[in-house]
Amino acid sequence: MGVKLDVEIAGIKMKNPVMVASGTFGCGEEYSEVMDISRLGAVVTKTVTLEPRQGNPPPRICETPSGMLNSIGLQNDGIDAFLKNSLPLLAKFKVPVIVNIAGDSLNDFAELTKKLDGQPAVKGIELNISCPNVKKGGMLFGCAPDSAAEVVKSVKKMTALPVIVKLTPNVTDVARIAMSVEAAGADAVSLINTLIGMSIDIETRKPKIATATGGLSGPAIRPIAVRMVWNVAQAVKIPVIGIGGIMTAEDAIEFFLAGASAVQVGTANFIDAEASIKVIDGIKSYLGSRKLSGIKEIIGKIRV
């Protein structure tokens, strides 16, 4: 028998546990020209909002040691354009589509969910209550247990689709937030979103991105992400999806050992369009070389 990579996350059946993270893959159109998207476990879309957003002014990306700062500001064409233009394209890839949504209010989240509910191509919803680069919504919801739970409740009333909550690392106790959204009905949690960071040009004495601060991602944050996944996996019973600086299969395996049931590859997509595919192949090779039958044999198997 071969190595089994298939997993089921909150009712979403995936051929392997590797997804692409929101905001790093668009809706797949560009990547479809250079990689086989059908090999992915799932595609998590760029964040969709109720109305179109222009995002933040440039410059809004800069490189940092072992990472990058971004302050895109959730630029997108809005839910109606997404349903008309992007979702039909995503449906062609024959992989589960998880739509990442964000709003300025509980009503925004509810309305977005209402529009997505019943769409055959949509297999799950990921709630972005953790973006550090917007003035409304974002971390204002995700930094407190009560407000995070209220978002989940408003969404769960509108759909039977699996609801995944994307958590921010910019809190004192991420496990407490995770337990709160679990109690409110979340079907899974994903973490971490970016850490708030800053970089300054010492010649101009100005921040390197227009909004001064932005979200730090990439390998620099991976040890923090692994630790937080480990904390949360011990605190909740729902599936945990690990995110943060995954560049290789070895990186992903750290998250599985820490307790993640699946992972999302993000910043690596900007460097290598096939990074997620290489992670999938590497996980399979790792399991096979150790005579392990499937991914479930290493989830949470850290030896502390």
Backbone CA torsion sign across 50, 56, 61, 64: negative
Going by pLDDT thresholds of 50, 70 and 90, the confidence category of residue 134 is confident
CATH topology of domain 7-55+72-196+217-297: TIM Barrel (3.20.20)
DSSP structural state of residue 83 = I
Going by pLDDT thresholds of 50, 70 and 90, the confidence category of residue 38 is very high
Do the Cβ atoms of 106 and 113 come closer than 8 Å? no
Query: Is residue 136 over pLDDT 70?
Result: no
**Can you tell me the mean pLDDT for 288-303?**
96
Give me the chain's average pLDDT, please: 95
| Residue 2, pLDDT score | 83
Residue with tokens 């089994």: 4
DSSP for 31-80 reads GGGTS-GGGSSEEEPPPB-SS-B--PPSP-EEEETTEEEE-----B--HH
Query: Is residue 1 over pLDDT 90?
Result: no
Q: How far apart are CA 283 and CA 29, in angstroms?
A: 26
**Can you tell me the mean pLDDT for 122-127?**
98
- Stated as kind and residue range, the H or E segment containing 278 is helix 275-289
Q: How far apart are CA 122 and CA 91, in angstroms?
A: 8
Mark 31-43 as b/e (b = at least 16 C-beta within 10 Å): bbeebebebbbbb
Do the Cβ atoms of 68 and 216 come closer than 8 Å? yes
Q: How far apart are CA 73 and CA 56, in angstroms?
A: 5
pLDDT per position as a tens digit, 91-114: 999 999 999 999 999 999 999 999
The set of catalytic residues is 131
pLDDT per position as a tens digit, 221-280: 999 999 999 999 999 999 999 999 999 999 999 999 999 999 999 999 999 999 999 999
> What is the share, in percent, of the chain residues with pLDDT greater than 70?
98
Picking from 196, 192, 167, the residue whose alpha carbon sits closest to that of residue 64 is 196
Query: Is residue 59 over pLDDT 80?
Result: yes
Going by pLDDT thresholds of 50, 70 and 90, the confidence category of residue 43 is very high
Residue with tokens 């004495």: 205
Query: Is residue 75 over pLDDT 90?
Result: yes
Q: How far apart are CA 65 and CA 46, in angstroms?
A: 25
Query: Is residue 137 over pLDDT 80?
Result: no
The SS3 of residue 207 is strand
H helices, E strands: number in the chain = 10, 16
- What type of residue sits at position 114? K
Do the Cβ atoms of 59 and 114 come closer than 8 Å? no
